[in-house]
Amino acid sequence: MRIVLGVSAGIAAYKAVHLLRLMREAGHQVDVIPTPASEKFVGRATWEAISGRPVTTSVFSGVDEVRHVRLGQEADLVVVAPATADLLARARAGMADDLLTTTLLASEAPTLLVPAMHTEMWNSAATTENVEVLRTRGIEVMEPAVGRLTGKDTGPGRLPEPEEIYARVTELLHEIDGAAGHGTPEASASAPDQALDQGPAAAPTPGRLRGRTVVITAGGTREPLDPVRYLGNRSSGKQGMALAETAAAAGAKVHLIAGTMDVRPPAQLPNITVEHIETAAQLQAAVQRAAPAADMLIMAAAVADFRPAAYAAQKIKKTEDGENPVITLERTPDILAETVQHRRSAGTGPAVIVGFAAETGSAEADPLELARAKLLRKGCDLLVLNQVGETLVFGRDETEIHILTPPRLTVEGSAVVTLRGTKHEAAEAIIAAAAAYVV
Ligand code: C5P
């Protein structure tokens, strides 16, 4: 999502650098607006390098694009950390004497101010009144932390730790997401810069993913029943393999977690490491190991939803009395959903998580409806729908896919890209769509 991060002139400005990093790692687009005086504490180059966006402090730069109004209007959330006593006073008075205060005035986005100042200044009648007025206007003013201040003094006035501020930012973004009526609280917090409802995605440009790590799961899983039998599925692994090759061609370092595949991936592939797994539990462990360092996680594997509740150490035998064995199944962990959950609670993880849905549809629901529901249930950023049947998709080289984004990213909340073609063409569209989240 889009965040404006205002920084006013306090020594705690250095902590906002870490806050910015946390926001960026979660995939948010952040425009930093320092006050001119704050540049004495942290320089513009630092903000530009970490945000990857141009930074100005003056209302008079970028006049042609009406920057002071645009940034505030486009933001989903405005955060000011640290907010000094002076900034609180200017915000309360509705002053517009620099780009930050002008943006605060022009923005209708939810606003979080995080004060930092000496205890005496925080407790002063002026600041107390300013905070009260700002709060009555619906602006959230966080309570400062109590602790060591810049000098020898201690007391309330310390900037809360960046992780604490970021936790509140995450909560607010989820509320904003939900309030927009798009998505459930499960919808993801990260968003691409560009909406995808403008026609088919092009192939990712070469080098677009240079320096990025992409983790892809592919193929099917096998859930053992006894030493010679298993429950498996018909996934060929071709789509996952095409995704790995496409991501590597775009410059990424790819880690392919491969289940059972029709064609075993070659051991040596440029920029692709392959890890073989068999069961859903092994896949879960492999994803948990690889996901924290990934920029992109693509869950193309057909993971078993159920596995035998008990494993028979000896081969299950036919019995003389002709009784058929009863096999009890249990649910496997939903690896995709739990990875999304973990990203949300930890505040870090892949900038984009892509799920797949292989749907046959039913008399009651069409596959697109089922896929939309799945996207919201799982909370991933993109969902690729494959319509499957006995003769469709599995093992074939041709495919038809729909790439869905959470409804808030589209005009009407519907499917975004529909593509019929080879699995390599599908892979290019999927990687291009996902690359939009990796800024
Ligand atoms: O719920 P369903 O199996 O239809 O969801 C498909 C998506 O969820 C795929 O991206 C698949 O890799 C992932 N999945 C998972 N863990 C499971 C089942 C599916 O991560 N146990």
d(CA 282, CA 360): 27
Among 207, 185, 282, 300, residue whose Cα is nearest residue 252: 207
pLDDT at 330: 97
Whether 325 shows a pLDDT value over 70: the answer reads yes
Instruction: Give the nearest ligand 1 atom to 332 CA.
Output: 21
How large is the average pLDDT for residues 234-247?
94
- Catalytic positions are 233
Q: Is the CB of 388 under 6 A from ligand 1?
A: no
* Residue 367 in contact with ligand 1 by CB distance below 6 A: no
Return the ligand 1 atom nearest residue 337 CA: 20
Among 14, 159, 171, 23, CA closest to 5:
23
pLDDT in tens, 298-312: 999 999 999 999 999
| Residue position matching structure tokens 């694009």 | 65
Index of the ligand 1 atom closest to the CA of residue 336:
20
The span from the first CA to the last CA of the chain, in angstroms, equals: 12
Average pLDDT on 225-232 reads 96
| Predicted pLDDT of residue 182 | 40
Q: For ligand 1, is residue 299 a contact (CB within 6 Å)?
A: yes
Residues of the chain with CATH 3.40.50.10300: 185-435
For residues 270 and 250, give the distance between their C-alpha atoms in angstroms, rounded to a whole number: 12
* Matching residue, tokens 């932390």: 145
State in words which class domain 2-178 has.
Answer: alpha beta
**Range 185-435 classified under CATH 3.40.50.10300:** yes
Q: What is the pLDDT of residues 99-136, one digit of tens each?
A: 999 999 999 999 999 999 999 999 999 999 999 999 98
Which of 257, 334, 376 for a ligand 1 pocket mutation test, highest count of atoms within 8 Å of Cβ?
Answer: 334
* Mean pLDDT on 311-323: 90
| Ligand 1 contact, 287 CB (< 6 A) | no
- Which range among 96-110, 135-149, 271-285, 287-301 shows the weakest confidence by mean pLDDT? 135-149
Considering only CA atoms, give the Rg of the chain: 26
| Tokens standing for residue 309 | 């509740």
Q: Which amino acid is at 374?
A: K
